[in-house]
Amino acid sequence: YKPVLSGAALRDGERIAHDAVMLKAASGATDDMALINPYCFLPAVTPAHAACIENVIIDKERLTGNYKTIRSRHDITIVEGAGGLMVPVTDDYLIIDLIKDTGLGAVVVTDTALGRINHTLMTLSVLKSHGIELIGIIVNRYPAEPTQTDISLIKYVSLFGGDNIIAVVPEVKSGDDFYDRFITCFKENIDIGGIIESLE
């Protein structure tokens, strides 16, 4: 489920929600894209601002309602956020509010770019302060030949983040078959069954 998406592509007059397309392909879900991604905006800005630009009112009930519908149809439901916990969805509603309203735990996805240690540890701190369960941390786009910056993220996020890294996903280079290679990489490196077992 991808509740809100900003920065969609426009192809032949049709909006392409890349993240939602990838989620649908990876899961094998047959749900309608309007259910999987109810709000899809062209401007690559925060969802609240994108909605304002496009003169759209985001309905919080629709966000949670779509989630409940998807959850009722599937054994596993993964919800992808948009930009981080404190990103505004509306003028009075943040991504973290949506997490609380759905009662979900959080998987924090990060990468090893400069500054991500700080960003990741602050995200963990915000989750804790709001009483949201941390399911684990996924380090994404990890290079085949890691630099000291890459290595340091693994070290210090593990050290200060409670050793909660559950997967390190290698970088997938862009190309025509990117989606297929990304999905294969995801399945090879993230043990969804193991995560579910740990939650149970």
Active site residue 68: no
Burial class (CB in 10 A: 0-12, 13-18, 19+), 197: exposed
Determine which one of 2, 24, 155, 187 is catalytic: 2
Q: Which helix (H) or strand (E) holds 5?
A: strand 4-5
Q: Which residues contact 172 (CB under 8 A, 6 or more apart)?
A: 141, 178, 181, 182, 185
E strand segments, 69-112: 88-90, 93-94, 106-110
Alpha helices in the chain (DSSP H): 18-27, 33-36, 47-53, 60-73, 95-102, 116-129, 148-160, 178-189, 192-199
Which residues does the annotation mark as catalytic?
A: 2
